[in-house]
Amino acid sequence: ISTTQDAVIGGVALFALGLGMGIPLILVAVGDRKLLPSTGPWMNVVKAFYGVMLLAVAIWLVERLVPAWLALTLWGLLIAVTGVQLGAFDAAKAGWERTRKGLGLVMFAYGIALLAGAVSGANDPMKPLAPFTASNPAVADGSAPQMAHAQFLRLESPADIRNQLAQAKRDGTPVMLDFYADWCISCKVMERNVFSNGSVIQALSPYTLLQLDMTDNTPAQQALLEELGLFGPPAILFYGNDGAELETARILGEMDREQFLGHLNALDMSGGS
């Protein structure tokens, strides 16, 4: 609702969500035991599976509040221990026991990779060994090496943001203002998948890149959100060469790399709207 400003779409989406969650319960209640499988040892497997899933959800929720290395450590421990529980180091007979052991070995190896990444400073669970494999060589013509991430000026004070916007207006430079918070999962996804992409970095080179860090969510930051009519991060605002905001160019919510590049290419930064 905050992204589309359409209460009808939001209400229909929530109604559909409620139906999707409620219909299975209604079918089970009406069908009694006819729709339920019989009890047996398989229930212990289901119990263990959902136990691991609950721990995974707990880590997913807490990773927005803790440092990246700690989040990777928690993921690594959970996955490695689950691999051991699957029989990674147990003797296995031919058949499904070896399949389960193989899966356990893969999970254990991935868990160790996550723990190694946590020690070496990685921040992406999908690329835990990036610190060991990343390279930043200079290009062939001897120019400076490419940046690995768009260079934002991260500030916490709305007053500092206003000062930077005023300076960019005097310089006639377009500005991209990103609202970020450590507890914002979508913000971290865009940091990792969008702003670290070479094409995006090049497309953003004409801009002054500002980032308001709203992790502490101070009263001054909340007042700025209210002034701009924003719900909260993730949100990205664009300002033209004349210092006026391009209100129709706002990004509210998460975008992938292709969507973001298409959005940038469609902008006219000569003036605000």
Amino acid at 123: N
Buried b / exposed e over 187-216, threshold 16 CB at 10 Å, is bbebbbbbbbbeebbebbeebbbbbbbbbe
Distances (CA, A) of 4 to 102, 119, 250, 253, 268: 46, 41, 11, 10, 22
Contact 242, 187 (CB under 8 A): no
Each of the 273 residues of the chain gets a pLDDT tens digit; together they read 666 667 888 899 999 999 999 998 888 888 777 777 777 888 888 899 999 999 999 998 888 778 888 989 999 999 999 999 998 888 888 888 899 899 999 999 999 999 999 988 887 788 888 778 765 444 444 444 444 667 889 999 999 999 999 999 999 999 999 999 988 888 888 888 888 888 999 999 999 999 999 988 899 999 999 999 888 888 999 999 888 999 888 998 888 889 999 998 888 765 544
pLDDT of residue 3: 62
Residue 243: which region, alpha, beta or left (left: phi > 0; alpha: psi -120 to 50)? Answer: left
pLDDT of residue 146: 46
Other CB atoms within 10 A of residue 251 CB: 20
pLDDT of residue 2: 64
∠ at Cα 78 (73, 80), nearest 5°? 90
Rounded to two decimals, the pTM is 0.65
pLDDT of residue 134: 60
Query: CB within 8 A of 259, min separation 6: which ones?
Result: none
pLDDT of residue 273: 45
Q: Using alpha carbons only, how large is the chain's radius of gyration in Å?
A: 24
